[in-house]
């Protein structure tokens, strides 16, 4: 049984998409994203975070990195320690440098070093336990380094093989209050906790984001929305169509602490 711990987020870091956003890495086969629409969706996302009570740091787009708006992958952050990642995708290495400079102003930072690779999309926090996905982007060395750092700061962790899909959090999210939402393949992760199991046509909706008293969910998935509402959550629905085209989701667009 996961013990719910009330820990409010007070800050978030986001980065605007660049004009070359469509040049990023994707396997979705959903077509080219509309840049203007992506900017509108990103602005709505930022407004939602503010409604959730966090202070935003908004970084300008860095067009050296088409995937740069997906800041989640550059670090694993919490109130005790900020861990700078080492992206598994070579084209994304360097995105973490500005994030490291920003996070240095908010307490202790540590970093994943070669040959370790780690992307934040593979790290799922459920209260004081973190699940670390071993994927094409996060290797065992990177996961081991993160586990050691987390242990020093009072967290437990475990590894989860990600045999298909981009990141662990593409398929499972912790909603808070002991509840998870997941595609069937990762439903075992939560153990005895309550888990919403998604239908095949709504797998994308697994990527939810709990921010204080609200749960951000992707718009357009009525079955998962109903199951979430039945659990009593205050939801904010956001259109994520252009980010979905680039294999991105709600968690990908911010670093919360």
Catalytic residues: 167, 252
* 165 Cβ contact list (under 8 Å, min separation 6): 135, 171
| 60 preceded by a cis bond (ω within 30 of 0) | no
94: left (phi over 0), alpha (psi -120 to 50) or beta: left
Q: What are the E-state strand segments in 148-208?
A: 156-161, 172-176, 179-182, 194-197
Gap between the Cα atoms of 58 and 13, Å rounded: 6
- Output the six-digit token pair for 169: 């959090």
Tokens of 209: 């984001």
In whole angstroms, give the CA distance from residue 67 to residue 73. Answer: 10
Main-chain phi, psi angles of 107, to 5 degrees = 110, -165
Locate 104 and state its tokens. Answer: 């240095």
Pairing of strands 194-197, 179-182: parallel
Rounded-to-integer distance, Cα 19 and Cα 242, Å:
13
Query: What gap in Å lies between CA 87 and CA 93, rounded to an integer?
Result: 6
Query: Running DSSP on this structure, what letter comes out for residue 80?
Result: S
Closest to 82 measured CA to CA, from 142, 153, 133: 153
């Amino acid at each position: 049984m996961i013990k719910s711990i009330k820990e409010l987020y007070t800050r978030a870091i986001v980065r605007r998409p660049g004009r070359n956003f469509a040049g990023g890495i994707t396997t979705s086969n959903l077509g080219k994203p509309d840049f203007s629409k992506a900017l509108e969706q990103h602005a709505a996302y930022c407004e939602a975070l503010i409604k959730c009570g966090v202070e935003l740091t908004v970084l300008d787009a860095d067009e050296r990195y088409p995937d740069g708006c997906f800041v989640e992958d550059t670090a694993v952050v919490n109130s005790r320690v900020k861990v700078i990642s080492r992206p598994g995708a070579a084209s994304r290495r360097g995105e973490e440098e500005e994030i490291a400079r920003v996070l240095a102003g908010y307490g202790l930072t540590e970093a994943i070093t070669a040959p370790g690779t780690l992307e934040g999309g593979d790290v799922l926090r459920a209260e004081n336990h973190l699940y670390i996905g071993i994927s094409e982007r996060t290797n065992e060395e990177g996961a081991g380094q993160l586990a050691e750092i987390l242990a020093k700061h009072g967290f437990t962790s475990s590894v989860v093989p990600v045999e298909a899909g981009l990141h662990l959090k593409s398929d499972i999210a912790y909603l808070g209050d002991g509840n998870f939402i997941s595609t069937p393949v990762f439903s075992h992760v939560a153990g005895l906790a309550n888990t919403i199991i998604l239908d095949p046509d709504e797998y994308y909706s697994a990527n939810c984001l709990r921010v204080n008293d609200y749960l951000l969910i992707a718009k357009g998935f009525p079955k998962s929305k109903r199951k979430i509402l039945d659990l009593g959550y205050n939801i904010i629905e956001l259109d994520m169509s252009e980010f979905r085209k680039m294999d991105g989701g709600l968690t990908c667009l911010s670093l919360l602490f």
